[in-house]
Structure 1
Amino acid sequence: MSQALIAARRPLLALSAFALAASTHAQTNKLDTVVTTATRTPQKLSDVLADMTVLTRDDIERQAFGSLADLLRRQVGFEMIRNGGAGANTSMFVRGADTRHTAVLIDGVRIDSQASSGASWNAIPLAQVERVEIVRGPASALYGSDAIGGVVQIFTRKGDGKPVVDLGLGIGNRGLAKVDASVSGRTGIVDYSLAAAGESSNGFNARPTPATATFTPDDDGYQSRNASLRLGLQLAAEHRVELSALSSHVNSEYDSTATARTDDRTLSDTRATRVAWAAQWTPALRSELSVGESSERYETQPSPYVTKTRVRTYAFNSSWNLGAVGTLQGVLERREDQLDNTGLIAATRPGHGERHQDAIGAGWTWASGPLSLQLNARRDRDSEFGGVSTGAVAGGYRLGAAWRVQASVGTSFRAPSLYQRFSDSGKASLRPEKGRNAELGLHYAAGRDEFSVTAYRNQVRDLIIYSVPGACPSPYGCYDNVSEGLLQGLSLRGGTVLGPVRLSGTLDLQAPKDVDEASAHYGKLLARRAKTHGTLRAETDVGAWTLGGQVLASSKRTDNLNTGFKLGGYTLLDLDAQVAMSRRLSLQFKVENVFDHAYETARSYAASPRQVFVGLRFTPQL
């Protein structure tokens, strides 16, 4: 093996060694956290049978700037692909699954683009997020379409207790500036939280390759502004009504392939609103009725392109605790999708497509002694392609106080998008993409120590790809169900406390492949997926200071299976520090990509160079 190859692999080998060593020493302080995403009902994180992670406000504050995608790329199982800086188009792969294969919710509201397929990750702001719950692996038996690779649920801030004001501001190199403010609290039966934030940067040249002379050689910056509102009314001890709303706008510069050198921009708007009524009818019986709506609007300037998605959901969830028999859950749900896009030439009303899905689901959770079980089944009927049934079975067994082994099997699907159905490249015969997953996990938790390893195998059939010859109006090709993928791998995460140093790390060893025997790429790794990627973080307290550093590493990837072009591996170092200057005032420093390493997650698009940030946070007493 060459010395250069050995050097390139050292960070990943170090991450691997750490993850294995963490099997006996690991850090956790979140196992008593109550979560809802894994079963759609409240449950302790320590009892969850899925591969799950919870990110708190402390994790979010440490990230400091950027979008939710910048935080998630540092979590086990996640890979980020971005066409430039923080405001540019962004994709997230979870366990090797495509970006459209992750269901994304904000306060229970589904976020999805029926044009590009999947959530607009660059438009989900960090400033409005209080907590993130991540479930890896198929979850269509709970959430219906999209959840082939996993679920990411974002919760905005919620008020409680005395009024609290939180103010933050910060600056950095390349013109980075951000400001945020929030007020939250409770008055009588009313709790409230109102927050707003803005962030801007001059950015960097996202297309620096000399061969691309048609691109404007300038810095590609971005500006974002966002706000959220969460209002609760406790009508009685057993009844609560809640309104939540979020709005985000991103104005990002990019370089078009047009020969004329212009100031090309993308304008992204994401909105989500939900009203819910939660009732505790008896100590054992609870229910929730909700109506939610999200919209995704994407526009390019000066080139005239606008597309808008609207997703509306109606849901009734209930749970009934039967004591020793377990807990039953039920869900009735309706989802309505609309897409306005001039490319929808085959729709009944050109330029406008719509459809709906009606679903019924049931679940059962049970625990007795060391054994836990979870069963879920769901039937979705789509107005376009008909019905799909999904199910999941999970079990866990405690091997003493610290160890637990768990296993699950489940099925999933993703409905064809309205653009895939009705554009000039669409086909009426498109079928849902379907996944079938099996996984086995081992978890260790004792005091402040935690470690987990999960092996998974997710076979995805009827994958929809573009540029397939066939009977559609487009001369460039059609969308069709012609591919099959096998997503398999091993995920490790854990941490330890060694003297004054807190350590945590992740490691992903994966082989997401094209297994369609008729494909020219049969047996090859899917594009832009690394065989190995992971993180390693160290943190310690020195007086009033908290000092931290994190390594993010990825092996090489293939950018495009047709060209075979390879993207090099990379290793990045981030440093951060926080200090409480008083009870009300804190100071934060952060440096990302300390050594200014040049790398790409998509061919010919530069990734973020060194970024320095200094911030203040002030919580005045009212």
Structure 2
Amino acid sequence: MPRRSSALTSANRLLPWLLLPSLAWAQPGATETVRAPDASTAATTAATLHDAAASARHAPSESAPAESQAPVATSIPGEPNPPAAATTLDEPSIPARTVVTGTRTPRPVRDVPSTTVVLPREEIDRSPTLTQDSLVRTLPSVATFRRTPSLVADPTAQGLNVRGLAPSGVARTLVLLDGVPVNDPLGGWVFWRSLPRLGLERIEVVPGGGSALYGSSALGGVVQLISRPIAGPALDADVTYGNRGTGLLAARGAQRWGPVAAALETELLTSNGYPIVTPAQRGAIDSDTPSNHVVLNGRVDAQLSDALSLTARANLFRENQNGGTRFTTARVELAQLSANARLQTDTLGTFSLDLFGRALRFEQDRARVAQDRTTESLAASQAVPANDQGASLVWTAPTWSVGGVHHLSAGLDTRRLAGTSRERLFPPSQAPDTVIAREAGGTQWASGLFLQDLYAITPDLELSAALRLDVWRNTRGLQRVDRVSGASDATAFDDRTENQLSPRLGLRWRPWDALTLRASGYRAFRAPTLNELYRPFQVGTVLTAANADLRAERLWGAEAGVEVEPLRTLTARVTGFWNVLEDPITNVTLPGGAGRQRQNLGRARVRGVEASIDWRLSRRWTTLLAYTFVDPTVTAAPGQPDLVGRQLAQDPRHRGAVSLTFEDPSLVTATVQLRATGPQFEDDLNERRMGGALVVDAALSRRLFWKVDLFAAVENLFDREYLAGRAGVDTLGPPLLARVGLRLRDAL
């Protein structure tokens, strides 16, 4: 990589493009590594991005989240714009990008005090993965609750966790789409298939406690998907077909009419899935896991003046899934509206207002299965309507100088979440007191206020400080049980109010050009979801009960990282982290193995290290090695002494990735990536062990004519069989999934 001549020019210096974003693991130095374009187009690319930076102040940009709505290539307030960097044939490169998630303000990625990973659009396009959850899981420190992808698993098994922070079906990481939370209002899980990738500009991943800026749900970090800007007429499309009846049709069109711009995006995917039960346990009832979904997203931007811009969005999503038997199904319908207004003034700074609302209905059927899996019957049918509404206001002050340069920002947000689980039960035998229906739900109000100062003492030394106060209140909590006799038992839960103060301190120091040091300490929290408080659920033969007495999880954490660039083409990064999770909400096995219940476990220590090496071997060859070690150990468990010293469930200690890419636009672009996951346990007692997995993925593309590419991709190239879950029945991870297709990019 090019050496840095100064802190100012380095903020916009040219960086090599790296091959595979899905393997560009957590850069401790908060540096994005992206693949370089070929020499014939590098100068044009650099000039285009520089021109975009100059004009971005006068047109709304879709590539920044709703909190800031800042252009990707915008300069930092109070600092002059550097000249466009030169581009040579020997060293193709592009200007450094700006990120927003780590500080809720636009900043060059190299200057962000916290660890940040950026997956740019080019690498998203080249990834062999099909769904968004599979894409983010290729980062060694990012995982979902189970190893099964959203192609065959409903969202309740897709909770996101980063750095091994007590995985569960609930996401301990906040997921945003342009600043708007997409975590489910009832359960906190993520509908990954509602987030198509064709309209994405990049994905930003910020591991570590993020509650100081984002409040609840950001206990383990923040993942933000950022939409592409609407620069003018554009048409993109993907058409693919693969084995196991997998077909995908995606399209995006965009147009601009003076100060008004619009974009429309759709995605349709269908698949026959695959048998998920292991051959040894598979019975007559087991078959494939078919699924399908459709997404329709629309967006309109209006630049009313040089200072004021407006954005409105509408999102529709529908999904149907089958878990492999007649009576294991899931369905979801979702609609969301959001709007943003951004006012930029010379004297008072920038104000950004976001409003959003969402309504959805999640349905799920569960089966009662014979021990030999030859017969099944309907055990329960659930309907879960939910909705949420929210607003946020963020103010970014003009820079001011007192012993250095200060970048001050503040904001407040509020959100209302409501949902009810209505469940009909079909017991095999009935007595007067047999339960035949359950209803549970409530309402949660959450509000927060934050203040942040980014204090650059010198261009090479910066301190960051953030503080946030959150208050949340659970109201109208209710559980009702109906019995065969006609009796109905209702339990109303007392309203509860809690609060949390979340600080964060950070340091970035660049003692010399080739070395960047970062350190931070933080406190974070996650309030229990309505799902955890009130709704029971079942996976396989294991029933997990809710717990209305759950308290918030709280986290103390610290991390420190170093990034070294001894050569222009070589970057090495290491980050160590130490987290103490207090009162983690886990699924605890009840005495006698009669089932499980959500409980505040006591305390868990999650410590580890992330390391990566990026090496551009030549203009055409790039390689990456990344490894994450996590030690997730229970250190205190009142009432459950057998759990002390155990490893947290669904949390492997070792995860690694290796990739190799060859890129010659005149010939072919080829990527091979290897992902390794160590052994882990299904349960809290560490009795149901699942072995490690080693999976190879590959992608290949070639330009056919004009702007049309032929591409092929395969996941699990060698059809490696490995366990994904052991909840009553052993289930498998994805087998070999291959597809070929045509890709049209920027046709207008």
Q: TM-score when scaled to structure 1?
A: 0.88
Of 341, 347, 370 in structure 1, the residue corresponding to residue 421 of structure 2 is: 341
Q: Residue 629 of structure 2: SS of its match in structure 1?
A: strand
The secondary structure found in structure 1 opposite 2:212 is helix
Deviation at 1:430, TM superposition (A): 2.7
1:9 is aligned to: none
SS at match of 1:72: helix
In structure 1, how many angstroms separate the alpha carbons of the residues matched to 2:551 and 2:329? 35
Number of the residue aligned with 2:240: 170
Q: CA deviation at 1:426?
A: 4.8
Instruction: Check the 8 A contact 2:342/2:350 in 1, yes or no.
Output: yes
- My pick for the range that moved more, 548-557 or 65-74, is 65-74
For 1:239-318, list aligned pairs within 5 A: 239-255=308-324, 262=326, 264-282=328-346, 285-301=349-365, 303-318=380-395
Structure 2 equivalent of residue 55 of structure 1 = 119
Structure 1 unaligned segments of length 5 or more: list them: 1-17, 257-261
**Distance in 2 of aligned mates of 1:422 and 1:263:** 24
1:370-418 deviations in Å (ceiling 9; x for gaps): 1011110011111233211111000010021121111000011111112
CA deviation string 1:427-479 (max 9, x = no partner): 55432110111110112357554332110011110112345779xxxx96654
Taking the aligned partners of 1:620 and 1:503, their CA distance within structure 2 comes to: 28
Q: Look up the match of 2:731.
A: 605
Tell whether 2:497 aligns with 1:376: no
CA distance in 2, matches of 1:450, 1:112: 34
Q: Does 2:705 correspond to 1:556?
A: no
Q: 2:252 is matched with which residue? A: 182
Relative to structure 1, is the Cα distance of residues 468 and 222 closer, same or farther in structure 2, using a 3 angstrom cutoff? closer
- Residue deviations 1:269-299, cap 9 Å, x none? 3444320101111166111011112345321
Tell me what 2:478 maps to: none
The structural deviation recorded for 1:333 is 1.0
1:457 maps to a residue whose letter is: W
Partner SS state of residue 321, structure 1: coil
Correspondence for 2:288 among 201, 206, 219: 219
How has the CA–CA distance of structure 1 residues 235 and 408 changed in structure 2, closer, same or farther, with 3 Å as cutoff? same
Alignment of 1:88 onto 2:153 = yes
Specify the alignment match of 1:514 in structure 2.
Answer: 634
Distance 2:393 2:451 in 1: 12
Work out which of the residue numbers 540, 559, 574 in structure 2 matches 1:453: 574
Among 354, 359, 371, which residue is 2:443 paired with? 354
Residue 327 (str. 1) matches residue 407 (str. 2): yes
Q: 1:547 to 1:283 in 2, by over 3 A?
A: farther
Task: After superposition, give the CA deviation of every residue in 1:469-525 in whole Å (9 maximum; x if it has no partner).
Answer: 79xxxx966543233111110011231111331112321011011111543121122
The equivalent position to 1:148 in structure 2, one of 207, 210, 219, is 219
- What are the Cα deviations for residues 3-41 of structure 1, in whole angstroms up to 9, with x where unaligned? xxxxxxxxxxxxxxx99xx99x99546872111111111
Q: 2:660 aligns with which of 538, 542, 552?
A: 538
Amino acid at match of 2:446: Q
Q: Percent identity of the aligned residues?
A: 22
3-state SS, counterpart of residue 101 of structure 2:
coil
The alignment status of 1:208 with 2:296, answered yes or no, reads no
* SS, match of residue 298 in structure 2: strand
TM-fit CA distance, 1:100: 2.2
Q: Take 1:281 and 1:55, find their aligned partners in 2: how far apart are those partners?
A: 32
Cα shift readout 1:54-103 (whole Å, capped 9, x = no counterpart): 11222222235532111011113112424466241324331001252101
Q: What RMSD, in angstroms, separates the aligned Cα atoms of the two structures? A: 2.8
The code of the aligned residue for 1:440 comes to A
More displaced, 508-517 or 29-38?
29-38
Greater gyration radius: 2
CA distance in 1, matches of 2:734, 2:546: 35
1:66 aligns with 2:158: no
Number of aligned residue pairs: 587
Distance verdict in 2 for CA 1:522–1:620, change over 3 Å: closer
Matched, 1:387 2:499: yes
Aligned partners of 1:227 and 1:248 also within 8 Å: yes
Q: Is the 8 A contact 1:546 1:577 kept in 2?
A: yes
For normalisation by structure 2, the TM-score amounts to: 0.74
Cα contact 1:49–1:394 (8 A) shared by 2:
yes
User: What is the CA distance between 1:250 and its match in structure 2?
Assistant: 2.0
Runs of 4+ in 1 over 6 A off after TM superposition: none
Structure 1 Cα separation of the partners of residues 129 and 330 of structure 2: 20
Of 501, 517, 522, which aligns to 2:621? Answer: 501
Report the alpha carbon displacement of residue 246 of structure 1 after superposing the two structures with TM: 2.6
- Give yes or no for contact 1:67–1:122 (8 Å, CA) kept in 2: yes
* Structure 2: gaps of 5 or more residues: 1-23, 36-93, 366-377, 425-437, 474-495, 537-544
Which of 156, 160, 163 is the equivalent residue of 2:231? 160
